[in-house]
Amino acid sequence: MFNLAHLSDVHLGPMPDAPLSAYFSKRIIGALSWRFRRRGIHSLDVLNRLVTDIKRHNVDHIAFTGDLVNIALPKEFTRGAQWLSELGGSEFVSFVPGNHDAYVPVDWADGLALWGDYMIGDLRTPGVRTAGNNAALFPYVRQRRNIAMIGVSSGVPAPWNKAWGELGQRQLEALDETLKTLHERGFYRILMIHHPPLRGMAKDRKMLRDADDLKIVLEKRGVELVLHGHNHVHMRSELETKTGLAQIVGVPSASSFAHKGKPAAAWYNYAISRKGGAWSTNVTVRSYDESQKQMVTSAHLAPLGQLCLDCDTQRVQK
C-alpha cells in the first residue's frame, strides 16, 4: 500500500512588502485582487489545519500541484521555500509550478530555483530532463516503490487578463517518451500538472493551451492517474487510453473558505496497491468543515471511478 496526499493552490498569504517598482507589471492586478478579494478567501489558519491533518495521516508522499504563491514577488519565493521546508523534506514532497508561481517572468535563479529540490527527479528514463534551469527541468520522474510520479510545468507568464498554461513541444515530446518507458517497466504512473489537462475543463482564459496535444500523448501512451489543481473545485474525469482508463482528479485550494459556490479547502488521500497484477486506487477526501473548524472526511472514492453516494460530498464532478 502506498499512501499519497494531494494538495494544490496554497496561495500563501499575507502578501509581503515590495517596492512600488515591483508592481509596474501584471502584478498590480494580482495585488489588487489579493487586497479586495483573495485575502478574505485564503486563510493561513485553514492551511495550517490542512497540513496538520495530512501529517496526522502519516502518508508516504505529498504531491503539490502548484500555486504556492500569488504574484511571484521575490519575498514570496523566499517565504515559499520556508513553507515547503515546514511541509516536508524534498524527498517527501513533489512540486510542480502553477500560473501564479510564474505570474510574471522571473529568472530561474531568483525564483523557482529556491524550490528546485522539490522538482528534481531520482529516476532516469529516456525523455527525463536533468539540466538545472526551468525550461529543461521538466518532466521529472520520482520513483517510490513501484509508483512513478511525473512532474510537468504548465506555469507560464500570461497576459494581463489570462491565467492560461502551456507545456510546449519539448515537454510534450519528453513526456511521450517518459510515459512509454515507465509503462514498459510496469510502473503505476501519476502525472502532476497544475492546469486541468483536457479541453473544456477550464474556461478559455484559464485553460491549458496545448490540451489537445497533451490528450494525444495521454491517449497514445496511457497514464494511471493525473492530478491537477487550478480551478479550486473538486473535479474528476476519465480518459480512455491504449493502456486503460486514466483517472483525472482535481482538488480545491488548500487554504480557502467556501465562497460563491466553491468548496472549502480539501486534500485527497490516495491508497494505491497492487494485487494479482491489478492496480487498486482508493481515495479519501478530507475537507475543511467551517462549523467545526477542522478537517473531516467528506467523501470516499473506492475504487476510483465509483462515488460513495451516502457521503457528504461537495461538488465532486464525474
Predicted confidence band of residue 127 (pLDDT cuts 50, 70, 90): low
Average pLDDT of the chain is 91
Identity of the residue numbered 126: P
Q: CB neighbours of 293 closer than 8 A, spacing ≥ 6?
A: 49
Q: How far is CA 240 from the centre of its chain?
A: 22
Predicted confidence band of residue 303 (pLDDT cuts 50, 70, 90): low
- Position 313 pLDDT exceeds 50: no
Could you tell me the three cell numbers for 47?
A: 492551511
Which of 161, 248, 237, 172 has its CA nearest to residue 206?
A: 161
Structure confidence at residue 135 (pLDDT): 46
- Tell me how far apart the alpha carbons of residues 231 and 253 are, in angstroms, rounded to a whole number: 8
Structure confidence at residue 146 (pLDDT): 94
- Tell me how far apart the alpha carbons of residues 162 and 123 are, in angstroms, rounded to a whole number: 35
CA distances in angstroms from 100 to 28, 140, 150, 194, 199, listed in the order given: 13, 20, 21, 10, 20
Q: Are 286 and 301 in contact (CB under 8 A)?
A: no
Of the two residues 314 and 11, the one the predictor is more confident about is 11
Which of 153, 65, 81, 67 has its CA nearest to residue 117?
A: 81
pLDDT for 248-269, tens place per residue?
A: 999 999 999 999 999 999 999 9
Could you tell me the three cell numbers for 249?
A: 482528479
Structure confidence at residue 301 (pLDDT): 74
Q: CB neighbours of 96 closer than 8 A, spacing ≥ 6?
A: 64, 65, 66, 119, 138, 151, 152, 153, 154, 155, 192, 193, 194
CATH 3.40.50.1000 fits 2-301, yes or no: no
Q: Are 178 and 125 in contact (CB under 8 A)?
A: yes
Q: E strands within the chain?
A: 2-7, 61-64, 93-95, 140-144, 147-151, 188-192, 225-228, 235-241, 244-250, 266-275, 278-289, 294-301
- Tell me how far apart the alpha carbons of residues 73 and 226 are, in angstroms, rounded to a whole number: 29
Average pLDDT of the segment spanning 131-147: 77
Number of Cβ atoms within 10 Å of the Cβ of 60: 16
- Residue identified by cell 525564483 is 111
- Tell me how far apart the alpha carbons of residues 70 and 34 are, in angstroms, rounded to a whole number: 8
- Tell me how far apart the alpha carbons of residues 138 and 151 are, in angstroms, rounded to a whole number: 7
Angle between helices 169-184 and 211-221 (to 10 degrees): 20
Of the two residues 214 and 304, the one the predictor is more confident about is 214
Rounded (5°) CA angle 29-67-141: 145
